[in-house]
Amino acid sequence: MMLIATLSLAGCHGGDAGPGFGGRGPVPVLVAKAIRKTVAQRLHAIGRVEAYSTVEIKSQISGQVMAVHFKEGQDVNKGDLLFTIDPRPFEAALNQALADLNRDKAQKIQMANDYSRYQTLLKEGVGSRQQYDEAKSKYEAIAATVAADEANVLTARLNLEYTNITSPIDGRTGNLILHAGNLVKANADTDMVVINQLRPIYVEFALPEQDLATVRGNMVSRALGVDVIAPDDKKTEVQGKLSFVDNTVDPTTGTIQLKGLFGNQDQKLWPGQFVDTYLTLSERPDAVLVPSQAVQTGNDGSYVFVVDPKMKAAIRTVAVGETIEGDTIIESGLHGGETVVTDGQMRLIPGGTVMIKNADHATQRAAS
């Protein structure tokens, strides 16, 4: 039906059809090469970058900030010194605790000797039960006091250690809230500084719940890749892996939350950014693709115009698959490397001669 209609249209203009259309010469067209490459079945979503971990630095003691050992926005490593709080009150408290401990240890030795002596006298029948009980009670009391003193020493040592605040993670510091000279309260509501871990980093995104079964099915056989396009580099995809699928679907939005994990060694991704996110479900090697504008629809289905080496156009019926970023997968009817018409099809007839206007572009596409 499609072929007859096309030929009839040519006959309405009268005369010899000639090499192109209606005897007017070669028809100028734009063309492209059908290419073979591996294509991925991907799901797209808008994702948001979030830090791998975030730590709010607060002081565990009260005191004056003596020194700040970093600059705002600086990268720090785990264990790096961040703040120093005046240690002198805590050194004095430790010395006092040690003195109390040493005093009570001496008393414990004396009372242990008294307890042992009255215990012996009681066994020999020359000492009273009351004296023994008093000696025992005093010994047990001083033993408890020594244990409390040891706990006080441990607390004093910890408080002294807390005067040096170190970074618990590798990351980048944010805005500095408390500068040297300020007084800080223990466990204050305000953070001294916030550290975000940027390497690695997460990208969180949501997919419709109807995609969940497909995602979980593909996760069984392999780790799924997640690619994002950073806002400052639209041409480069940053590659990562799917690391998290939430355990429930959000009933208010009908979506499921997922996270991709990225090494982010070059720090292209930054917490808070919104990025185009692509979850790769599967890959199909050696697929034939043509620009979507090359595919036409007729009474008998989809077709393309193929240009042979003699610059003659022929209709080829094709079976088409999904469209990926402006290209259509050809399931059957076309081979990689063949030249198809992408613009000018309306003036073509089967067997007509064409004049290619973009030969360089077609060559470049074939090379890609």
CA–CA dist 58, 95 (Å, integer): 26
As a three-state string, the secondary structure of 184-215 is: ECCCCCCCCEEEEEEEEEEEEEEEEHHHHHHH
Strands (E), 89-177: 164-166, 171-173
What's the whole-number mean pLDDT along residues 215-242?
A: 90
Question: Identity (one letter) of the amino acid at 56?
Answer: E
Q: How many CB atoms lie within 10 A of CB 281?
A: 16
Domains in the chain with CATH codes: 2-34+295-367 (2.40.420.20), 42-52+197-283 (2.40.30.170), 55-85+163-195 (2.40.50.100), 88-161 (1.10.287)
Rounded distance, CA 338 to CA 354, Å? 15
Whole-number average pLDDT of the chain: 89
Query: Is a pLDDT exceeding 80 seen at residue 361?
Result: no
**CA nearest to 42, candidates 205, 264, 273:** 205
Lowest-pLDDT range, 23-27, 266-270, 359-363?
A: 359-363
Q: What is the spatial distance between Cα 283 and Cα 278, in angstroms, rounded to a whole number?
A: 13
Residue 158 pLDDT > 70: yes
Which residues on adjacent β-strands are paired with residue 301? Answer: 298
* Digit-coded pLDDT (tens) for 98-140: 999 999 999 999 999 999 998 888 888 887 889 899 999 999 9
CB 303 within 8 Å of CB 318: yes
Confidence of residue 24 (pLDDT cuts 50, 70, 90): low
Categorize the per-residue pLDDT at 359 as very low, low, confident or very high, splitting at 50, 70 and 90.
Answer: low
Cβ atoms of residues 51 and 197 within 8 Å: yes
Tell me if 204 sits within 8 A of 50, measured CB to CB. Answer: yes
| Residue % of the chain over a pLDDT of 70 | 91
What is the Cα–Cα distance from 315 to 309, expressed in whole angstroms?
A: 15
Q: What is the pTM of this model?
A: 0.71
